[in-house]
Every structure is written in C-alpha cells, then in structure tokens.
C-alpha cells in the first residue's frame, strides 16, 4: 500500500492532539470533527471531498490496509449512465474526478477512456436501449445506437450473428480501483485529512441520540507507533505521562468526533447493529475470470456488456476479463464478515460460473480454446433494492452512512463521496438523493433471513430487463394487512412498497369485476401474474375496468400501507406551522393538504394533516416515506418544543371508497349524515360503519366523490366485508394501485418520489395554491424569491394523440423538436382515452404559461416520437366538461 500509518507522523500529530478534559475520561486520545470508518474507495472519497471542501479535521480509519476490502479486486468498470438524473450526475462526476486524479495527486489510477458497448440480442433489449439512449440525451451522456457490424469493429473478437444492435458510450472507461482509493487518500491527506491504517473501529459511541465518536482497537504495530511517537515528541504533543501509559497499555481507545461516517463496505451492517442503526445490506459472491493471453485481445478494448447473456467483458493487457451478473446469485453465508478479510478472495466457484462461461464462449468464440489465469470470487454488499445507502441515520444524529454499493461502487464512489461530504457540511442533501437515502428502509428490511433471500435476486438486476412495474420476486410477504388473504382469494396481483404487499390490479377471476371477458376489445388477464412488456401489459383490460369503476360506480382500494402518525402536544400546531407550506392552524375536524419544504424550497414530503384536537394531529403520508417523514419532523422539532410524534401505521388500515356511488354505499352502513353540508370536502369525522368505528376523511386522490376510512387494523376485515356486501348492486369493485395511478394522473394529482422531490419547488410543480404565504415556514424565503423571479421549469400533463401507445415515466419530452425534460410518471388514462404522463418542461429563461402552451410537444416512446397534447389543468376535468356540455 502506498500509505502506511508509520510513515505519516505529521498526521499523527493531530491524531494525538490532546483533549482538554480527557484526564476525566479513560483512553480518550483524540478529538476531531469527523471520523470516517473504512478505507475503501468510498471512505477515501468522502475524506477527500470533506478535506477539499475545507473540513480538514478529518480522520479516516482503516482496520487493515487501504482498499483491502472489496475495492482491490473490482473489475474497474466506470460507466456514466444510470436510470435517474441524480445517479447519472454522481457517475458523471466520478468519471471527471478519476480522469484528473493523477494530475492532482501524482498517483496513477489507470484511467482509460476505452468506451463501453452494450449489445442486444432481443427486440425487447433493443427497445430498452432506445429508451436509454433517449434519456441519456437529456442527462448529457452521449449514447450512439449502432448496428452489429459497427459493434464488431469496436470489439473484433465478438460473435455478432445473433446481435440486433448495440449502444456505444464513447466516454465510459475503466480504472484500477485500488489505485483510485489510494489516490483519493493521498488527495485527502494533501488537503489536511489524516489517514490511519490498522486501526479497527470496535463501535460507534453515542450519547443522547447523537454519535460522539468511536472506540478503536489499535493493532500492535500502531500502538507501538503511538508509543514511539509519544516519547519522541512528548513536548510538542503535550501528551502527559499518565496518558502515554494509557495509550501504551490500551488496546481500545476512544476518539471523540462531532461526526462519524460509516463507509465500511460489507462490514457496515454489523457496525450499524451495534449502535441501533438500520443498514440493510448483505455480501454476495460476485465473479469474474481472466483468461490466458488471447490473440486479438488488448488492454484498450472497450468495456463490453451483453445483458441478455448476463455477462460483461473487457481487455486486460493481452487477455480478456469475463464477469457475470447472473439472474440468481449466492449470498456469502458467513455468520459475521471476518475483520481480517483483507486482500482476500473466496474460493473459485466454477460450477456457479458455468452458465456465464458458456455464454462468454458464445459471445467471444476465442474463449473456447483459451486457458484461464485467474478466478476472482469477491464478496460485495448488496441492498434490498439495488441502490446504495447514504445519508444521516435517522436513529443517530451526526452518524452518516455510505455503503452497500451493489457492484457499482467504483463507478459511484467519486460522486457519492462528493454528495455525502456536501450533505454533512450543509446539513441536508444538495441534490435529490431519495433513491439512495438511508431513510427509505425501516427496520423490517434489516432482517438477515430476508436479506439473504432478497440479495439472490438483486445482483442480477443490473442486467435483467428494466421492465416497467417490475416487482421483486424474492423476500415477499413481509408486511401484510388483515385483508391480504381476502384480496388474494379475489385474484389480487400484489406489488410491494416499503415492504407492504399492496394490490396493484385484480385478475378476471375476481368475482367483483364487471361481466364480460373483454374491455375495449382487449382480453382480461385471467390470473394474477404479470406479463411484462414496454407496451400494454397483460392487465390492461383489468386496469381499465377498475379505473372505470371508480369513475362510474364505486371502487374499493386497500391503501393501508399509507404511513400514519399522531403528533400531539401543546407545540404541535406551532411546529406544523413552521414545517408546512399550508396553514395547519385550522378548525378541529379539518383536513389540510400541504408540502414540507427544505431550505432550497424543494419538497421533503407532501402529506395530509387532520386536526383531531387543538393539540393533536393525524398525519397521513406516502407508503414509502414513513422513516423519512418522521425523521424530518423530529429533526426540525426544537428540544424545548412539546410535540410527540408516534408512528401508528401498523395500527390503522385505510380503505378508499371512491366513486359516484360511494355516498350511497356508505349511507347504507352508517347513521352519519354524509351530505355535502354535513360532511364537506376536506373534513374528517368519527363514524360508525356497521359495528366498527372508523375515522372517515372526505378527501380523494382519484378525483371522485369518496372517503378514506381509517379503520383500526383489527376491524379492517370486518369493515371490508360489510362494504363489499352492501355495495354489490352499486357496482362495487376491488381496485388496485395501478388504477389509483391512472386516475390521479387524469386528475393532475402529483406524487412525491415522482413529480415532487427535494429538487422540485411548489411553484415549479404548480402547487402554489397549497401555500399560505402569510406565515413563515421552512423554505419560504427562497420560494418568495423564486416567485418574484419566475420559474424556469414547470410541471405539465401530457396526453398522447395516438390512443395506442402507453407511457410509463422516464420518456424524453420534446418541445418543437428540442428535448425539454422527461416524464416523471405515466399510465393509460382510460377516461380520456390515451396514454397520460406528467413531466417538467425546462427552459433557459423564465417559463411563461404562453411559452408552455404554445409549443408542439412529442414524447419519445421507445425510440418513436409521438405527438402529445400538453395540459396545465387536469385533462379529466376537461373531458368531464365536454361530457356535461
């Protein structure tokens, strides 16, 4: 390794700087601002960026040697394109950083811009490449679609007789991962950080819900170093004699720190468990081989990927590296990741590699006859959703995490380090990082049996088709409502969100579906199994029937996964006034829709409040947002404020009773007066439904007359049965979340995580109506500035002219032939009769309504540009006006 602790005396001066009052504590040898645990590429990147941004009092601790964990054996592929804007920004930044690191640090990282090539052998894969190429245009990543012959020119050893085409990314490349880590560490040191090897962190120290440092174990050579240094430089270090003896005898010492960063790769889950922090990741065996020299192979061959065959390949000197992302992989079944697993590999597993090897020989026939010089079987940490984990732990203030990199840690580390450093310094993310935010997981996700099952599927996802609505097949059934078996018996096809099993749609055997075997000429799916496609999927007709039931009769939605809280205390209303854009100080019984904003004016959440009492509110927010929203509210509650937040998600189910017949249906089961006068929109009441008592809330996310019933979980089945029985002649229909999605899009209702993110403001999202400018709230100042200056991006709704295609979200939008943004979510609007999506229109100057509406719009549907009508108001309202007039 290039950096040895024993050589870094100058840095140890700061390591041993005296703590003013340490004599009162045992074994405290250091006080620093930030301690980073883990000297892999990620920890080194965090240290580098913190120091570069001016935080020099940073100590990075590595239990063995730098890069000795997973980093050293990585294949070094660095691609720039990811599926979201933020992730692409992260990877693009990594490439730029690595390309200049040698110049900056004097340490070569082996960066080679060899380009990358993705070949397709199926029409579906070609469609995916076309979708990718279109989006990359917007993300600023050059992607060329080329034919098989051109692909062979780039990679002459390829077999192309079954290749339909390829994507060529000229700016991708490769590095030597270990050297990147070392260069970043050197860069960090040059900017003032301290890097220490052979120091194992035993645990994170915490007090009053805050990380305050780490307890470390100094290996004997390091302890000896410390002893020598202490005696040599006693005066300078002002280490008193009694402290020296402590250091001498101590195997474990404490380092106090304001911030602690866990970047311990596959060891990080364990470190988290020891301080009560949820970091769901698990090591998985990941394989590649390197051949003996092959004629025609050379180091500058592009990085090749054949996702249909689950393989990647590149030149390695005059040989070939062949790696695998098999559909089903093997967790490393280790009880505890051993601390001394440095520069080590697992045993070669030729049996597991036989399929990729066969596929590799097919794609690169020269592999048929070559020998193999090396088998790399390295463990790498994978997360439940194939996105890495970063950010401040909700359980402990000032404890940050950057781990679980799912085999893209080399490509992501540069950007991840930069954005984590900014997050630490600014106190909040400087970019929408929700897809990797640690707060997307609750404790349910950290169960080891669940992780071991789920990660078998995750590794392969990199190369599986990126089907719209693809659902995980493993690790299912973790969170179920009491209705689960009833809905399953009625042919619900379930999807999963935040662990909750939710009905997405119902198969034809659902007894509550309207009669007939076709809808709009399309056959119903008879069984609740997804058949994926980029076009209409097999549930199209089922979805149409559920959608129409909500518009024309009455539909019943199980929305129990909604996150729910009670906020209670004498300061609850004051706190909400400070957090919410809308006025929360409303009469008891009123429901309020509001956004919560960050200092940049972006949406941290959008949610509904119900005032239950002068000092008590119910908060209802998205299924995915439970941990995130609770964290946001708690971290913004001042210590002196009297407002207690309790998560009651598991205690109440939610039944959406939506449609023109909803009032008639509910009136059969309740004595309450449901008229507009007695139960107006935006209010809530406790009412009886049969023998149960529920909180009925007159709101809608689908744009129809309806009530959301908040039912104690133990009475959910009772209420469901009563509604179903009573609604038979009113046309009651089970309906799923796909119907909610199309209904809300027709009505122009936004969704957090799609249209609304920490980067989107209410003025851009067209939600300024839900803001009360007369009061102060977080984000108000910046929003007022934006209001005065005008916006440069604006959310709009698009409906395709051609009724045939479908939209899924993630499609490029053109205005007068020029890309202006992409769709944030999409579906098929069965009332308006065409595919519908939302998306932001971006402009270099102020965006006026006239500019927006005067354009000619198209949406790229799998490579084909389809004309679209743009709307700033709900297309459903227009359709309804047309019907009524």
Among 16, 46, 59, 74, binds ligand FAD (CB under 6 A): 74
**Interaction between residue 313 and ligand FAD (CB under 6 A):** no
Among 378, 391, 528, 834, binds ligand FAD (CB under 6 A): 378
Among 115, 265, 601, 727, binds ligand FAD (CB under 6 A): 265
Q: How far is the CB of 260 from ligand FAD (least distance, A)?
A: 11
- Residue 462 C-beta-side C-alpha neighbours within 13 Å: 26
Stretch that binds ligand FAD, among 157-165, 257-265, 513-521, 832-840 (CB under 6 A): 257-265
Q: How far is the CB of 67 from ligand FAD (least distance, A)?
A: 6
**Interaction between residue 301 and ligand FAD (CB under 6 A):** no
Q: How far is the CB of 738 from ligand FAD (least distance, A)?
A: 34
What one-character-per-residue DSSP string does 433-483 give? Answer: -GGGBGGG--GGGG-HHHHHHHHHHHGGGGTS---TT----SS--SB--TT
Among 14, 32, 71, 824, binds ligand FAD (CB under 6 A): 71
Distance CA 111, CA 123 (A): 34
**Interaction between residue 280 and ligand FAD (CB under 6 A):** no
Whether 37 contacts 264, CB under 8 Å: yes
Q: Which residue is associated with the tokens 């174990």? A: 217
Question: What phi, psi does 570 have (nearest 5°)?
Answer: -65, -20
Q: Which residues contact 65 (CB under 8 A, 6 or more apart)?
A: 1, 39, 197, 198, 342, 343
Whether 730 contacts 779, CB under 8 Å: no
**Interaction between residue 463 and ligand FAD (CB under 6 A):** no
Q: How far is the CB of 214 from ligand FAD (least distance, A)?
A: 8
Report which of 316, 317, 365, 324 is spatially closest to residue 348, judged by C-alpha positions: 324
Question: What phi, psi does 633 have (nearest 5°)?
Answer: -70, -45
State which residue, 381 or 598, has the beta carbon closest to ligand FAD.
381
Q: How far is the CB of 404 from ligand FAD (least distance, A)?
A: 8
**Interaction between residue 75 and ligand FAD (CB under 6 A):** yes
Angle at 645 between CA 639 and CA 650, to 5 degrees: 155
Q: How far is the CB of 156 from ligand FAD (least distance, A)?
A: 22
Q: How far is the CB of 171 from ligand FAD (least distance, A)?
A: 16
Beta bridge partners of 213: 205, 256
**Interaction between residue 288 and ligand FAD (CB under 6 A):** yes
Distance CA 117, CA 133 (A): 12
**Interaction between residue 38 and ligand FAD (CB under 6 A):** yes
Q: Which residues contact 711 (CB under 8 A, 6 or more apart)?
A: 652, 653, 654, 655, 689, 692, 694, 719
Q: How far is the CB of 819 from ligand FAD (least distance, A)?
A: 28
User: Per CB under 6 A, which of residues 402..461 are in contact with ligand FAD?
Assistant: 403, 405, 407-411
Q: How far is the CB of 359 from ligand FAD (least distance, A)?
A: 17
**Interaction between residue 376 and ligand FAD (CB under 6 A):** yes
Beta bridge partners of 554: 732
Among 1, 16, 34, 77, binds ligand FAD (CB under 6 A): 77
**Interaction between residue 118 and ligand FAD (CB under 6 A):** no
What is the pattern of x (binds ligand FAD, CB under 6 A) and - over residues 479-498? --------------------
Whether 344 contacts 295, CB under 8 Å: no
Stretch that binds ligand FAD, among 71-79, 185-193, 519-527, 538-546 (CB under 6 A): 71-79
Q: How far is the CB of 106 from ligand FAD (least distance, A)?
A: 22
With H, G, I as helix, E, B as strand and everything else as coil, classify residue 660: coil
**Interaction between residue 315 and ligand FAD (CB under 6 A):** no
State which residue, 62 or 571, has the beta carbon closest to ligand FAD.
62
How far from 451 is each of 299, 379, 439, 627, CA to CA, in Å? 37, 15, 17, 19
Among 12, 31, 34, 39, binds ligand FAD (CB under 6 A): 39
Whether 213 contacts 35, CB under 8 Å: yes
Among 14, 32, 70, 649, binds ligand FAD (CB under 6 A): 70
What is the pattern of x (binds ligand FAD, CB under 6 A) and - over residues 211-250? ----------------------------------------
What is the C-alpha end-to-end distance of the chain, expressed in Å? 78
Q: How far is the CB of 857 from ligand FAD (least distance, A)?
A: 37
Residue 48 parent element (H or E): helix 41-52
Q: How far is the CB of 258 from ligand FAD (least distance, A)?
A: 19
Whether 98 contacts 79, CB under 8 Å: no
User: Per CB under 6 A, which of residues 575..614 are in contact with ligand FAD?
Assistant: none
What one-character-per-residue DSSP string does 99-133 give? Answer: HHHHHHHS-----B---EEEEE-SHHHHHHHHHHH
Q: How many residues bind ligand FAD (CB under 6 A)?
A: 39
Q: Which residues contact 850 (CB under 8 A, 6 or more apart)?
A: none
Per-residue DSSP letter, 17: P
402: left (phi over 0), alpha (psi -120 to 50) or beta: beta
User: Per CB under 6 A, which of residues 181..200 are in contact with ligand FAD?
Assistant: 200
**CB 376: neighbour CB atoms within 10 A?**
17
Distance CA 738, CA 525 (A): 14
**Interaction between residue 512 and ligand FAD (CB under 6 A):** no
Q: How far is the CB of 22 from ligand FAD (least distance, A)?
A: 22
State which residue, 297 or 795, has the beta carbon closest to ligand FAD.
297
Among 15, 35, 36, 37, binds ligand FAD (CB under 6 A): 37
Q: How far is the CB of 388 from ligand FAD (least distance, A)?
A: 8
**Interaction between residue 95 and ligand FAD (CB under 6 A):** no
State which residue, 76 or 302, has the beta carbon closest to ligand FAD.
76
Whether 712 contacts 654, CB under 8 Å: no
Among 30, 191, 269, 286, binds ligand FAD (CB under 6 A): 286
Three-state secondary structure of 306-352? EHHHCEEEEEECCEEEEEECCCCCCECCCCCCCCCCCCCCCCCCCCC
**Interaction between residue 98 and ligand FAD (CB under 6 A):** no
State which residue, 348 or 574, has the beta carbon closest to ligand FAD.
348
State which residue, 424 or 813, has the beta carbon closest to ligand FAD.
424
Whether 60 contacts 43, CB under 8 Å: yes
Residue 216 parent element (H or E): strand 210-218
Whether 40 contacts 263, CB under 8 Å: yes
Stretch that binds ligand FAD, among 374-382, 506-514, 589-597, 734-742 (CB under 6 A): 374-382
User: Per CB under 6 A, which of residues 40..69 are in contact with ligand FAD?
Assistant: 40-43, 61-64, 68-69
Q: How far is the CB of 403 from ligand FAD (least distance, A)?
A: 6
Burial (0-12, 13-18, 19+ Cβ within 10 Å), 569: middle
**Interaction between residue 356 and ligand FAD (CB under 6 A):** no
State which residue, 63 or 127, has the beta carbon closest to ligand FAD.
63
List the structure tokens of 572: 């609850």
**Interaction between residue 173 and ligand FAD (CB under 6 A):** no
List the structure tokens of 21: 């009052």
Whether 662 contacts 705, CB under 8 Å: yes
Q: Which residues bind ligand FAD (CB under 6 A)?
A: 37-43, 61-64, 68-71, 73-77, 200-201, 263-265, 267, 271, 286, 288, 376, 378, 380, 403, 405, 407-411
């Amino acid at each position: 390794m290039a950096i040895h602790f024993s050589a870094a005396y100058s840095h140890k001066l700061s390591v041993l700087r005296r703590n003013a009052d340490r004599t009162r504590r045992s074994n405290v040898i250091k006080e620093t601002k930030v301690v980073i645990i883990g000297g892999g590429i990620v920890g080194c990147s965090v240290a580098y960026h913190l120091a570069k941004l001016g935080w020099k009092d940073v100590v990075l601790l590595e239990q063995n040697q730098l890069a000795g964990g997973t980093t050293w054996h990585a294949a070094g592929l660095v691609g720039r394109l990811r599926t979201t804007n933020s992730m692409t920004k992260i990877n693009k930044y990594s490439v730029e950083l690595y390309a200049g690191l040698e110049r900056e640090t004097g340490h070569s990282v082996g960066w080679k811009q060899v380009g990358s090539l993705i070949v397709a052998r199926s029409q579906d894969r070609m469609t995916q490449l076309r979708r990718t190429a279109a989006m990359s245009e917007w993300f600023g990543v050059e992607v060329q679609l080329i034919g098989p012959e051109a692909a062979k020119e780039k990679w002459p050893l390829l077999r192309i007789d079954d290749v339909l085409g390829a994507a060529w990314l000229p700016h991708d490349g490769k590095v030597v991962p270990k050297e990147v880590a070392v260069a970043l560490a050197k860069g960090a040191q040059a900017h003032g950080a301290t890097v220490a090897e052979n120091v194992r962190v035993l645990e994170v120290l915490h007090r009053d819900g805050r990380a305050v440092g780490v307890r470390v174990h100094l290996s004997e050579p390091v302890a000896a170093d410390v002893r020598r240094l202490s005696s040599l430089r006693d005066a300078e270090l002002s280490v008193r004699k009694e402290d020296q003896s402590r250091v001498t005898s101590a195997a474990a010492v404490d380092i106090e720190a304001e911030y602690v960063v866990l970047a311990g790769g596959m060891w990080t889950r364990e470190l988290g468990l020891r301080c009560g922090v949820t970091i769901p990741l698990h090591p998985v065996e990941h394989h590649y081989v390197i051949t003996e020299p092959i004629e025609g192979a050379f180091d500058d061959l592009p990085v090749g990927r054949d996702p249909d065959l689950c393989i990647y390949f590149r030149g390695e000197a005059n040989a070939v590296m062949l790696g695998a992302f098999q559909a089903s992989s093997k967790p490393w079944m280790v009880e505890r990741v051993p601390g001394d697993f440095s520069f080590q590999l697992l045993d070669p597993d030729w049996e597991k590699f036989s399929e990729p090897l066969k596929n590799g020989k097919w794609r690169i026939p020269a592999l048929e006859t070559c020998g193999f010089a090396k088998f790399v079987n390295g463990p790498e940490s994978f997360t439940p959703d194939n996105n890495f984990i970063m950010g401040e732990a909700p359980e402990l203030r000032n404890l940050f995490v950057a781990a679980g990199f799912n085999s893209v840690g080399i490509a992501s580390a540069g950007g991840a380090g930069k954005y984590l450093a900014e997050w630490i310094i600014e106190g909040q993310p400087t970019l929408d990082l929700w897809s990797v935010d640690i707060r997307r997981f609750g404790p349910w996700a950290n169960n080891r049996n669940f992780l071991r099952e789920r990660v078998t599927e995750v590794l392969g996802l990199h190369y599986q088709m990126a089907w719209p609505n693809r659902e995980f097949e493993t690790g299912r059934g973790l969170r179920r409502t009491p209705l689960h078996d009833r809905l399953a018996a009625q042919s619900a096809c379930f999807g999963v969100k935040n662990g909750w099993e939710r009905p997405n749609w119902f198969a034809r055997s659902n007894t509550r579906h309207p009669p007939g075997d076709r809808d709009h000429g399309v056959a119903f799916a008879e069984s609740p199994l997804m058949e994926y496609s980029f076009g209409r999927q097999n549930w199209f007709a089922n979805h149409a029937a559920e959608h129409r039931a909500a518009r024309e009769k009455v539909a019943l939605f199980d929305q129990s996964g909604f996150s729910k809280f009670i906020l209670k205390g004498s300061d609850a209303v004051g706190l909400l006034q400070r957090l919410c854009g809308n006025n929360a100080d409303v009469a008891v019984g009123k429901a309020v829709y509001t956004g919560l904003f960050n200092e940049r004016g972006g949406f941290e959440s959008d949610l509904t409040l119900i005032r239950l009492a002068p000092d008590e509110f119910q908060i209802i927010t998205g299924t995915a947002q439970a941990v995130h929203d609770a964290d946001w509210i708690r971290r913004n509650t001042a210590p002196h404020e009297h407002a207690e937040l309790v998560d009651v998600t598991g205690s109440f189910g939610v039944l959406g009773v939506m449609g023109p017949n909803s009032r008639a249906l509910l009136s059969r089961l309740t004595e309450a007066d449901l008229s507009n006068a007695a139960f107006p929109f935006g209010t809530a009441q406790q009412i009886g439904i049969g023998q149960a008592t529920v909180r009925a809330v007159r709101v809608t996310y689908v744009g129809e007359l309806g009530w959301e019933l908040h039912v104690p979980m133990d009475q959910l089945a009772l209420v469901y049965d009563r509604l179903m029985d009573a609604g038979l002649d009113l046309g009651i229909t089970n309906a799923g979340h796909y119907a909610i999605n199309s209904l809300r899009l027709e009505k122009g209702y936004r969704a957090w995580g799609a249209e609304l993110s920490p980067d989107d403001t209410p003025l851009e999202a067209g939600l300024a109506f839900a803001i009360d400018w007369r009061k102060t709230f977080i984000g108000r100042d910046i929003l007022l500035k934006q209001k005065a200056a005008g916006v440069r991006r604006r959310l709009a709704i698009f409906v395709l002219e051609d009724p045939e295609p479908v939209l899924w979200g993630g499609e490029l939008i053109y205005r007068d032939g020029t890309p202006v943004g992409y769709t944030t979510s999409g579906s098929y609007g069965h009332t308006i009769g065409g595919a519908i999506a939302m998306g932001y229109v971006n402009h270099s100057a102020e965006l006026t309504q006239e500019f927006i509406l005067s354009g000619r719009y198209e949406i790229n549907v799998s490579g084909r540009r389809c004309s679209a009508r743009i709307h700033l108001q709900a297309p459903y309202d227009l359709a309804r006006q047309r019907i009524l007039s």
